[in-house]
């Protein structure tokens, strides 16, 4: 069996789940890994038995044997690397968000159109979670009817990752573009990807990174530096769609909250659902409300299986067995939504879409 030769660009924290998922796949050969920090790339190569190590992604892309790449780098490098990879004839899985700006996302979309059929899959990993896949079957079957309202929350009481995540020039923003992109996207996806009409958003920078807090651990970027922080602590928004539906969202890196909170809920005219913190289907029969709990392995988002499903789908898309469910067009639309929330917060007024 001819195996797909894959490379991973960026050997920071998130690359680990990509590398492991590829290593688990029987149709993949991990050919190369690239990072500006050679030592970090070499560690990954040693762990996964990868033959080629690079510090310059351009040199990696010049290897004609490499057929597909995962891009696990800082947000501000997603666009140039994705475009270069497509021009080099590679399939691309790029971590969310697709880019840092709308114009960059548009440039990537143009490169996909000119790529002679190469796949670009955006890393909206929650679309590939088992609970999302199961819920979508209920929605597609009409069990929820027309979904007119969704509400999504991802609040961390302490969890500014620092490093490039906390540097707007590298990341494009804080919890909205890092965490909000996931929960906004999964709601929008399950709602049927309705066209956005307007956005009203707020951002707050009141607490900083709270590096003074001790005795409570949290995820830190590979380049963590407590002194770097110019992104928001908290963002909230209401997104209105042309079909009359709406989505309310709030996300934080840090907040004076009793505990972290993750909640994703959708409401239709025939039923409702909770995706997080655990899958529930709400309906009624014989004038009685029913709360149903689907019996599945992963009723909440599971990090490892979610990424494995995402990588499996990417390989299926690269080999022509399926079409990606998170294409570049969706990545572009999500960038428009995120950018509109930031713009609304800056202007302190609602932003309307054309």
267-281 burial, b at 16+ Cβ within 10 Å, e below that, comes to bbeebbbbbbeebbb
Residue-range domains of the chain with CATH: 4-124+308-316 (3.40.50.720), 127-302+333-352 (3.30.360.10)
Average the pLDDT over 196-224 and give the result: 90
Kindly tell me if the per-residue pLDDT of 153 is higher than 80.
yes
- What is the gyration radius of the CA atoms in the chain, in angstroms? 20
- Give dist(CA 314, CA 309) in Å, integer: 9
pLDDT at 225: 77
Neighbours of 219 (CB within 10 A): 12
Reported as a single tens digit per residue, the pLDDT across 1-39 is: 689 999 999 999 899 999 999 999 999 999 999 999 999
Average the pLDDT over 71-93 and give the result: 98
Angle between helices 181-190 and 130-140 (to 10 degrees): 30
Reported as a single tens digit per residue, the pLDDT across 303-325 is: 999 999 999 999 999 999 999 99
- Give dist(CA 66, CA 60) in Å, integer: 8
Q: What's the whole-model pTM score? A: 0.96
Kindly tell me if the per-residue pLDDT of 222 is higher than 90.
no
Kindly tell me if the per-residue pLDDT of 183 is higher than 80.
yes
DSSP per residue over 129-189, as a string? Answer: SHHHHHHHHHHHTTSS-SEEEEEEEEE-SB----GGGG-HHHHSSSHIIIIIHHHHHHHHH
pLDDT at 157: 96
* 6, 69 Cβ separation under 8 angstroms: yes
- Give dist(CA 38, CA 206) in Å, integer: 37
pLDDT at 79: 98
pLDDT at 210: 87
Percent of the chain with pLDDT strictly greater than 90: 90
CA 201: distance to chain centroid?
Answer: 20
pLDDT at 95: 98
Q: What is the mean pLDDT of the chain?
A: 96
Task: Using pLDDT thresholds of 50, 70 and 90, give the confidence band for residue 211.
Answer: confident
- Give dist(CA 208, CA 211) in Å, integer: 8
The edge-to-edge listing of strands for the beta sheet with 120-123 is: 52-54, 28-34, 4-9, 68-71, 91-95, 120-123
Neighbours of 73 (CB within 10 A): 26
Kindly tell me if the per-residue pLDDT of 159 is higher than 90.
no
Kindly tell me if the per-residue pLDDT of 272 is higher than 80.
yes
Residue 123 CB-half CA count within 13 A: 26
């Amino acid at each position: 069996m001819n195996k797909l030769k894959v490379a991973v660009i960026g050997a920071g924290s998130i690359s680990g789940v990509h590398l492991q998922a590829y290593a688990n796949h029987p149709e993949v050969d991990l050919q190369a890994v690239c990072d500006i920090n050679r030592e970090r790339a070499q560690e990954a190569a040693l762990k996964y038995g990868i033959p080629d190590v690079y510090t310059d992604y351009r040199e990696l892309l010049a290897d004609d044997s490499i057929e597909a790449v995962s891009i696990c780098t800082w947000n501000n490098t997603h666009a140039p690397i994705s475009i270069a990879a497509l021009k080099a004839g590679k399939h691309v899985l790029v971590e969310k968000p697709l880019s840092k700006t709308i114009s960059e996302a548009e440039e990537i979309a143009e490169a996909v159109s000119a790529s002679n059929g190469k796949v670009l899959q955006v890393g909206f990993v929650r679309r590939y979670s088992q609970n999302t896949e199961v819920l979508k079957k209920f929605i597609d079957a009409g069990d929820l009817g027309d979904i007119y309202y969704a509400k999504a929350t991802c609040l961390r009481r302490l969890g500014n990752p620092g490093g490039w995540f906390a540097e707007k020039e590298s990341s494009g923003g804080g919890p909205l573009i890092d965490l909000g992109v996931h929960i906004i996207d999964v709601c929008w996806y399950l709602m049927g990807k309705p066209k956005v009409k307007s956005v009203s958003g707020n951002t707050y920078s009141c607490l900083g990174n709270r590096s003074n807090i001790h005795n409570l651990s949290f995820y830190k970027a590979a380049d963590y530096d407590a002194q770097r922080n110019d992104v928001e602590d908290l963002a909230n928004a209401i997104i209105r769609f042309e079909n009359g539906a709406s989505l309310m969202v709030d996300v934080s890196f840090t907040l004076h909250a009793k505990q972290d909170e993750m909640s994703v809920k959708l409401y239709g005219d025939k039923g409702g659902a909770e995706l997080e913190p655990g899958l529930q289907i709400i309906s009624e029969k014989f004038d009685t409300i029913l709360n149903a709990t689907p019996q599945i392995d992963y009723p909440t988002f599971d990090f490892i299986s979610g990424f494995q499903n995402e990588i499996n789908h990417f390989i299926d898309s690269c080999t022509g067995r399926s079409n990606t469910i998170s294409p570049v067009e969706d990545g572009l639309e999500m960038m428009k939504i995120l950018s509109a929330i930031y713009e609304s917060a800056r202007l302190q007024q609602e932003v309307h879409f054309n």
